[in-house]
Amino acid sequence: MEMTAETLDRIRAALDHALQGGFYHTRFPGIRAGDIHRREEFEQLPFTGKDDLRGAYPLGLAAVPEERILRIHSSSGTTGTPVIIPYTRKDLDDWADMFSRCYRTAGVGPRDRIHITPGYGLWTAGIGFQLGAERLGAMTIPMGPGSTDKQLTMMEDLRSTVLCATSSYALLLAEEIEKRGLRNRICLSRALIGSERWGEKMRARIAAELGVELYDIYGLTEIYGPGIGISCRCACGMHMWTDYLYYEIINPRTGTPVSPGETGELVITTLCKEGAPLIRYRTRDLTRELPGDCPCGLPFPRIDTLIGRSDDMVKVKGTMVYPGRVDELLAGVKDVSSEYQIQIDHLNGRDILNLFFETPLTDKTALKGLEKTVEAAFKEKIGLTPKAMAVAMGELPRSEKKSTRIFDNRY
């Protein structure tokens, strides 16, 4: 994003505050905020990564005295030490303000009834949706995850108008509502979906089966939590609340800024966070900046829907393959389901990309034709030719968690 003189001032103030905490005091020896006069100087500062935050476990990230810390949250590390983020009263206030702005951007108001299914507890999901809804002044139904029967009963009896969920749980609820014939007894008009990567086909199914408008909400525990950005009614990328944060998009391999509009890794600096300020934090999320103003009129810049994580992208025969791009291209091919898997192997000195996809078709000739179509579309959109193989619906493994779709067997 653009760095104005005002942004630079705010970055200097944020850096000055961060350096008062032990974490950046140790990480940036000899650096003073007053030394940063230009964007290029700011971009010389080292990045902060998730492993650095892990190293500060349990409370090493705190940049304020303990009496000012009201709450901690912890990110859902699948392995190893968790990351703990301390919040001051102002941090929680700012988060609530940003989140209520998300609701308003999605057309949600005080008369709505907000059904919250993400989990409450150490992680930031459920509690973030709650905080924002309370700031907005809407009624919340703090369900948390699971017990689908109870979810549907409450949704019907309390006439919930807004669903907050992960994409996979929204799909599960949509399918149950369809199966039980509840569609006419459900009052949902909107759904706010957490920012895991999800394809167009899944989006279309959820929207159609629930009969709702969908909004993508962005966030990560390290930077407040969900609610630091959201898509608007124009559904063209997510507006980022740049009065609270500064972002960059970098080449994840070299660490240098990408050209405008090019895909890269999102890096965030917090501008007014007190408890655990972060400077140039590598989110690992891949996206690009969208040019120009949004027709909705919001004065905040937009990033594109996430296309994956920088740890997921792979290089095959010199071409970068992003899972999000594969989702996108398969969504454009008729008779191909949203489920696929890529296996990359190295045989006889050559890289081979095998693409398995599910299809409802069974006729042998039709399957051959479909495989050729998928190969051509892949070549056109990604730039290399895979070996495409059709499999029956339901044959590829499913998981409750975000499923891994690319398997690199070369190393």
- 192 is written with which tokens? 């706010």
Q: Which residue number, 34 or 297, has a Cβ lying nearer to Zn ion?
A: 297
Which ranges of 74-214 would DSSP assign to H, the alpha helix?
89-105, 125-136, 148-157, 167-179, 200-210
* Greatest C-alpha distance within the chain: 71
> Packing angle between helix 323-331 and helix 200-210, nearest 10 degrees?
60
- 49 is written with which tokens? 């990564």
Minimum CB distance to Zn ion, residue 294 (Å): 3
Minimum CB distance to Zn ion, residue 185 (Å): 32
Q: Which residue number, 182 or 298, has a Cβ lying nearer to Zn ion?
A: 298
Round to whole Å and give the CA distance between 328 and 323: 9
- 246 is written with which tokens? 């500064």
Q: Which residue number, 235 or 320, has a Cβ lying nearer to Zn ion?
A: 235
110-119 in b/e form (b: 16+ CB < 10 A) is: eebbbbbbbb
Minimum CB distance to Zn ion, residue 303 (Å): 12
Which listed residue (15, 186, 202, 232) binds Zn ion by CB under 5 A?
Answer: 232
Minimum CB distance to Zn ion, residue 304 (Å): 13
Q: Which residue number, 13 or 234, has a Cβ lying nearer to Zn ion?
A: 234
Instruction: Say how far residue 233 (Cα) sits from the centre of its chain.
Output: 18
Among the residue ranges 107-115, 177-185, 200-208, 224-232, the one whose residues contact Zn ion (CB under 5 A): 224-232
Q: Which residue number, 298 or 331, has a Cβ lying nearer to Zn ion?
A: 298
- 39 is written with which tokens? 């964007």
Q: Which residue number, 296 or 320, has a Cβ lying nearer to Zn ion?
A: 296
- For the segment 20-59, give every residue that binds Zn ion (CB under 5 A): none
Among the residue ranges 34-42, 48-56, 163-171, 234-242, the one whose residues contact Zn ion (CB under 5 A): 234-242
Which listed residue (13, 70, 234, 393) binds Zn ion by CB under 5 A?
Answer: 234
* Closest among 70, 117, 83 to 223, alpha carbons compared: 83
Q: Which residue number, 203 or 239, has a Cβ lying nearer to Zn ion?
A: 239
- For the segment 270-309, give every residue that binds Zn ion (CB under 5 A): 294, 296, 298
* C-beta separation of 82 from 74 below 8 A: yes
How is residue 403 annotated by DSSP? P
Among the residue ranges 148-156, 231-239, 311-319, 371-379, the one whose residues contact Zn ion (CB under 5 A): 231-239
Minimum CB distance to Zn ion, residue 268 (Å): 20
CA angle 262, 355, 307 (to 5 degrees): 25
Minimum CB distance to Zn ion, residue 234 (Å): 5
- Determine the size of the site formed for Zn ion (CB under 5 A): 5
Minimum CB distance to Zn ion, residue 208 (Å): 23
Among the residue ranges 114-122, 229-237, 254-262, 306-314, the one whose residues contact Zn ion (CB under 5 A): 229-237
How is residue 305 annotated by DSSP? P
Minimum CB distance to Zn ion, residue 231 (Å): 8
47-68 in b/e form (b: 16+ CB < 10 A) is: ebebebbbebeeebbbbbeeeb
Q: Which residue number, 72 or 296, has a Cβ lying nearer to Zn ion?
A: 296
Give the position of tokens 């192997």. 345
Check the CA dihedral 384-388-393-398 and report its sign. Answer: negative
Minimum CB distance to Zn ion, residue 126 (Å): 26
344 makes contact with Zn ion (CB under 5 A): no
Binding site for Zn ion (CB under 5 A): 232, 234, 294, 296, 298
